[in-house]
A and B are shown apart, each in its own frame.
Chain A
């Protein structure tokens, strides 16, 4: 298996060509692979209405996004589990979650739940993200009016 006889019998130009072809194939192949894998993942995010329409196998990992219905959060007696309903205006999904809820989680605001459906149609979440959960970045506080009206003027150079 070991080539004792020095450099393979190719011209530099050929070797360059082989390398370029290999690199192109690798990069294009990776792009195709990623796109195919993502097509699978496209079926990963659901709104309640989409989840009702699609047939999701119980136990399959999905992400469910919607608004927490007002008056729906119920704390269970173990102190750790909450039950609530996620809605998108047309459909409603009951969700159970055991754990510490994120700070911005509240009735009437958006939430995303990662987890799986049970056979009875309840969604069991492993993790909840509150919408607008600014995980890393300062929120762009542009929506807060500083001074009313267009009183902002350009700083004048020199």
Chain B
């Protein structure tokens, strides 16, 4: 019954979405119907109930539901039965819709600043997005489909996905993706009513921030997960799945900066509209290249052409529709505020341009193999393409970050730049000289990265100089923290890639190997048993210089259901880096007949700066968001006054 109830909820919610569109259109034509808000709220609530029901079915391991039989197993720990709800196509699409409905309900409940007509148009746009995905879910990916007869047991969840971090990774990214849908709907709404101004930009900005925060957290967490779970020691692989989250993030970063210009200076209106459309297009593209099976192969896409074609159709409809509307209205939303070519606006334009170029490079790299395979050839795009080309534009982008915050809005006479130039140039020159003296063999990219990171780190603090720190507005703090985070992450990336040390060895029990200034002794290799896996575990005594001996335990695990082997890396974090250990297979016996084991060790200096910097970037976004939400501002204002 629960499955049928959930299914019914979805149909009703879809009906409400349709009603919301119709009522909204009548309202826009001048009829006095005020239904869009309550309908948006009701639709959000119903979708959420349907999603909770699906979670409940997964928790109970109701194998009579097809989706659960295919993706779950009653032996699984509770948390993975819950996270299994969104670890598959249908469930994740329902989660996507749930967040979409929730966001629509939030707009309906709390958006008070926007002009009523523009809000109605925005809700119509949001409801048409929802309706498209409701029909997709109900017609070709119904999560509540029954399986008769019910099998006694399910097939289980991929063990790689049985990780607490990963359980919450997709929801985080989806919050980011769907936040951009609200920005998209605002842009469409504003284009319909031709009301594109600072008020619209201020209404849109918190949603862009929210989405950007979640995307940042999702990318940082995903990168850390790949780092420790895959056991390859790398933190970014340019995998299509990673790119699928990076592309919306790049677009959202550009949008975030452009929407600030529109909100503050009423300039760059068309850029903001265009980036909102591009941002959500990247979200949809991201969700769907991951979810359609396109990534594994064009052929697995062809296995289920109905689903794939539906997705393509939706993508084309929403992106094409928005672009058409953009083309029709671009003349009518003329902006009036000019700016000098030496101004904060101009720096942000440059920021937007460079981000767009990077976005195109990643997009072409991600889509080419898919297009090529569809055309019958095979190409493989990897780091040799991405690394140099993205770096070539990311480093100038960072250079703009050094200058931009020192410029005034509208026009600048260069006073602040001149004031900071000696310190900046001095610090950058000293960094480069130190690197050349102590690490003469260092590559040019890490060197430039470090030098620019020092520059950004210094300039990021400039907005605080000469201010009363307690009275500094939160959005200013947000910018400072986020830009400082970029510097921290950049230091991590440059240092790790320039000074990483690696050691691969076949080790007997009792033997010691060294990497950097660490001594690693293999004291034992033994079998261990987990809830749904068995493993070979190495016990390593690690010691750095003369400090205390500590223990690391890398494992080679074999999961039972489904049977899969994974490497569980062991990490030892110290203030200036991480020691990373992976246990391989048995390396056979040595001349005396003693068994040896493959052991791979890395010393990664400052590697955790990468994720710490990412965390700071997200924190900066959060500070800025809190500072922009009206009730919280009043609260803080009262407190400061008291």
Which A residues have a C-beta under 8 Å from some C-beta of B? 1-4, 6-8, 10, 12-13, 15-16, 19-20, 22-23, 26-27, 29-31, 33-35, 37-38, 40-42, 44-45, 61, 63, 65, 75, 77-80, 98-101, 103-104, 112, 114, 134-142, 144, 146-147, 151-158
A13-B334, A33-B361, A155-B146 known, 10 other contacts, Cβ within 8 Å: A7-B339, A27-B360, A31-B364, A41-B379, A41-B385, A44-B380, A75-B587, A103-B565, A146-B155, A147-B147
Contact partner of B340 (CB less than 8 A), chosen from A7, A26, A29, A141, is A7
29 example contacts (A-B, Cβ-Cβ < 8 A) are as follows A4-B413, A13-B334, A15-B338, A15-B339, A20-B270, A23-B352, A30-B361, A31-B364, A40-B385, A41-B385, A44-B379, A45-B379, A63-B380, A79-B588, A79-B598, A100-B600, A112-B380, A134-B158, A137-B295, A138-B158, A141-B562, A146-B70, A146-B151, A151-B149, A154-B145, A155-B144, A155-B145, A157-B11, A158-B11
Contact partner of B338 (CB less than 8 A), chosen from A7, A141, A158, is A7
Report A106 CB to chain B, min CB distance, Å: 11
Report A138 CB to chain B, min CB distance, Å: 4
| Closest A-B pairs by Cβ, 9 of them | A79-B587, A79-B506, A100-B584, A34-B364, A45-B380, A30-B360, A103-B565, A138-B158, A30-B357
Check B148–A153 contact: CB distance below 8 A: yes
Chain A proximity mask over B140-161: 1 for CB below 8 Å, otherwise 0 = 0010111111010001011011
Q: Is B303 an interface residue (CB 8 A)?
A: yes
Check A99–B145 contact: CB distance below 8 A: no
Contacts of B337 in A (CB 8 A): 12
Check A137–B241 contact: CB distance below 8 A: yes
Distance in angstroms between the alpha carbons of A152 and B70 in the assembled complex: 12
Report A1 CB to chain B, min CB distance, Å: 8
Q: Is B135 an interface residue (CB 8 A)?
A: no
Contacts of A61 in B (CB 8 A): 384
Interface members, chain B 1-52 (any A CB < 8 Å): 3-4, 7-8, 11
Q: Tell whether A80 pairs with B157 under 8 Å between CB atoms, given A22-B353, A45-B379, A147-B149.
A: no
Contact partner of A144 (CB less than 8 A), chosen from B155, B270, B290, B372, is B155
Chain A proximity mask over B272-296: 1 for CB below 8 Å, otherwise 0 = 0000000000000000001001011
Check A80–B506 contact: CB distance below 8 A: yes
Contacts of B293 in A (CB 8 A): 140
Check B146–A16 contact: CB distance below 8 A: no
Distance in angstroms between the alpha carbons of A100 and B584 in the assembled complex: 5
Interface members, chain B 322-345 (any A CB < 8 Å): 334-342
Check B71–A138 contact: CB distance below 8 A: yes
Residue of A nearest to B566 (CB): A103
Report A67 CB to chain B, min CB distance, Å: 15
Q: Is B87 an interface residue (CB 8 A)?
A: yes
Distance in angstroms between the alpha carbons of A152 and B69 in the assembled complex: 12
Q: Tell whether A80 pairs with B147 under 8 Å between CB atoms, given A27-B356, A103-B567.
A: no
Q: Is B306 an interface residue (CB 8 A)?
A: no
Contact partner of B241 (CB less than 8 A), chosen from A15, A16, A101, A136, is A136
Interface members, chain B 349-386 (any A CB < 8 Å): 349, 352-353, 356-358, 360-361, 364-365, 368, 372, 378-382, 384-385
Residue of A nearest to B231 (CB): A100
Q: Tell whether A27 pairs with B357 under 8 Å between CB atoms, given A151-B149, A154-B145.
A: yes
Distance in angstroms between the alpha carbons of A154 and B89 in the assembled complex: 17
Contacts of A103 in B (CB 8 A): 564-567
Contacts of B146 in A (CB 8 A): 152-156
Report B393 CB to chain A, min CB distance, Å: 8
Distance in angstroms between the alpha carbons of A3 and B341 in the assembled complex: 9
Contact partner of B290 (CB less than 8 A), chosen from A80, A137, A154, is A137
Contacts of B360 in A (CB 8 A): 27, 30-31, 34
Distance in angstroms between the alpha carbons of A151 and B150 in the assembled complex: 10
Report A95 CB to chain B, min CB distance, Å: 17
Contacts of A157 in B (CB 8 A): 4, 7-8, 11
Q: Is B534 an interface residue (CB 8 A)?
A: no
Q: Is B585 an interface residue (CB 8 A)?
A: yes
Check B349–A19 contact: CB distance below 8 A: yes
Report A129 CB to chain B, min CB distance, Å: 10
Q: Tell whether A38 pairs with B365 under 8 Å between CB atoms, given A135-B239, A141-B562, A157-B7.
A: yes
Distance in angstroms between the alpha carbons of A23 and B354 in the assembled complex: 10
Contact partner of B567 (CB less than 8 A), chosen from A100, A140, A141, is A100
Check A2–B342 contact: CB distance below 8 A: yes
Check B381–A38 contact: CB distance below 8 A: yes
Contacts of A30 in B (CB 8 A): 356-358, 360-361
Contacts of A136 in B (CB 8 A): 160, 226, 239, 241
Q: Tell whether A16 pairs with B385 under 8 Å between CB atoms, given A135-B230, A153-B148.
A: no
Q: Is B504 an interface residue (CB 8 A)?
A: yes
Q: Tell whether A141 pairs with B8 under 8 Å between CB atoms, given A15-B338, A34-B360, A44-B379.
A: no
Check B300–A140 contact: CB distance below 8 A: yes
Contacts of A2 in B (CB 8 A): 342, 413-414
Check A33–B349 contact: CB distance below 8 A: no
Contacts of B147 in A (CB 8 A): 146-147, 151-152
Report B397 CB to chain A, min CB distance, Å: 12
Contacts of B365 in A (CB 8 A): 34, 38
Report A35 CB to chain B, min CB distance, Å: 6
Contacts of B567 in A (CB 8 A): 100, 103
Interface members, chain B 587-642 (any A CB < 8 Å): 587-588, 590, 596, 598, 600
Contact partner of A154 (CB less than 8 A), chosen from B142, B268, B372, is B142
